[in-house]
């Protein structure tokens, strides 16, 4: 059997991938979730769907119309008017939504959103908590 060169495959795949950021009237809804590093403090959080489809993997509760996350608390930071996608050369109309990194979130947040996030985040010591984001593509 022929030896597989994974490093070469990954390099060639990366050359074909492109990341795009596009303005969007529908936008991306952002929730920040604080998770305790010592999991005993984490509980089941029910994050409202807010008329959106998750970009990140998440558990959807159809009965309660919410996403389920493990953590200590979440905050709804509202929307930003961009979306990010990955496309691949030579693939007909293949476009996959991708999460937007914090650097871009902060760049597109209003001053109020930035202040709201910073005030909320200050309550969680970096040595004890992780902050992650659930992002939804608003659909209506």
Q: pLDDT per residue over 101-128, tens digit each?
A: 999 999 999 999 999 999 999 999 999 9
> Cβ(75)–Cβ(132) under 8 Å?
no
Domain edges within the chain: 6-138
**Can you give the pLDDT at residue 49?**
81
Average pLDDT over residues 22-34: 93
pLDDT band at 87 (very low <50, low <70, confident <90, very high): very high
> Is pLDDT at 54 greater than 80 in this prediction?
no
**Can you give the pLDDT at residue 140?**
67
> Cβ(49)–Cβ(134) under 8 Å?
no
Closest CA to 102 of 88, 112, 113: 113
* Tokens of residue 99, six digits: 């999460």
Average pLDDT over residues 67-94: 93
Average pLDDT over residues 75-100: 93
Q: Model's pTM, two decimal places?
A: 0.85
Strand partners, 69: 45
Average pLDDT over residues 15-33: 93
> Cβ(56)–Cβ(135) under 8 Å?
yes
Q: What percent of the chain has pLDDT over 90?
A: 69
**Can you give the pLDDT at residue 3?**
85
**HEC per residue, the chain:** CCCCCHHHHHHHHHHHEEEEEEEEEEEEEEEEEEEECCHHHCEEEEEECCCEEECCCCEEECCCCEEEEEECEEEEEEEEEEEEEEEECCCCCCEEECCCCHHHHHHHCCHHHHHHHHHHHCCCCCCCEEEEEEEEEECC
**Can you give the pLDDT at residue 57?**
66
Q: What is the mean pLDDT of the chain?
A: 91
């Amino acid at each position: 059997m022929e030896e597989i060169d994974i490093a070469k495959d990954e390099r060639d795949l990366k050359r074909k991938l492109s990341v795009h950021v596009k303005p969007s009237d529908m936008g991306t809804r952002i929730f920040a979730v604080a998770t305790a590093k010592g999991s005993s403090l984490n509980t089941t959080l029910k994050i409202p769907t807010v008329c959106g489809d998750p970009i990140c993997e998440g558990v959807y509760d159809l009965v309660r119309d919410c996403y389920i996350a493990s953590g200590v608390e979440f905050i709804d930071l509202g929307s930003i008017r961009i979306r990010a996608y990955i496309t691949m050369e030579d693939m007909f109309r293949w476009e996959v939504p991708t999460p937007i990194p914090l650097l871009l979130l902060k760049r597109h947040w209003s001053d109020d959103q930035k202040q709201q996030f910073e005030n909320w985040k200050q309550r969680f010591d970096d040595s004890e908590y992780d902050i992650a984001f659930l992002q939804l593509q608003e659909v209506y």
